[in-house]
Every structure is written in structure tokens, then in C-alpha cells.
Amino acid sequence: MRISQLQSLTNTELSLIFHIINEIEPISSPKVEVRGKNDLLWIKHEQLISKLTRQESKLTEEGKEVFKRLMEKLNKTSAQEIIEEAIRQQYLDSENLTQMELNYEYPTNTKSSQPDFQF
């Protein structure tokens, strides 16, 4: 799991992970309890995905909704995250530009810099 993935998880998603890897299907034998978010960084990504996926059928409908959001976040590649951030930044930049344009006051009594031509 990448740090960016870990930071994107909600408390509900983290609770689901901790419940599965601490209670339902522990990471190792003898059982080692994973207590904090940073402990998740030490678990191999494929192993975590595998453990979570095996438990999906046992979840309630509410749990399956949380599981779906969680898996969307965990299955993103770093390239996808970079692209999404670039798109988000481009959108914010365009929103700021639009806001600046809306607040811009055009000068009223200025002489045109273009020469006067008569045809």
C-alpha cells in the first residue's frame, strides 16, 4: 500500500481493513495485531487485496459498499493518482481563472491602442 492510498482512506474503510486482518483473517501465524495506519504500509499489497477479497461475500450490504470504495482506492495505480491530481489541479486553476475574470473591472475611459483607420 502506498502512502497516498493510506491517506485517502476514511475511518470506516480503515475499520473494515483492521477488522478483517485482525479478527477474521489474521496476517500471520502466530496472530500479530495490526494497530495503526502505518502498520498497513508493511503489508504486501497483493496479500492485503487477497485477504480483503476473500471476505467480501461475508460482508453485509453496508460492508459491501464500504468494500467497493476501499477496493477502488487500493486498486489505483500511482499513474492514475498522478493523472487525477493533474486533472483536479487543472480544474481548480480554471475555476480560479474564471473567478478572476468575473471580478475583473475593465477600464472605461481609455483611448484605444489601435490606430484609427478609415476605409
Q: What is the pLDDT of residues 41-83, one digit of tens each?
A: 888 888 889 999 999 999 999 999 999 999 999 887 777 777 8
The residues near 67 (Cβ < 8 Å, ≥ 6 apart) are 16, 52, 56, 59
pTM: 0.63
Q: For residues 19 and 91, which has the higher predicted lDDT (pLDDT)? A: 19
Please give the grid coordinates belonging to residue 36: 495503526
Q: Are 17 and 70 in contact (CB under 8 A)?
A: yes
Kindly report the average pLDDT of the chain as a whole number. 80
34: confidence class by pLDDT, cuts 50, 70, 90? confident
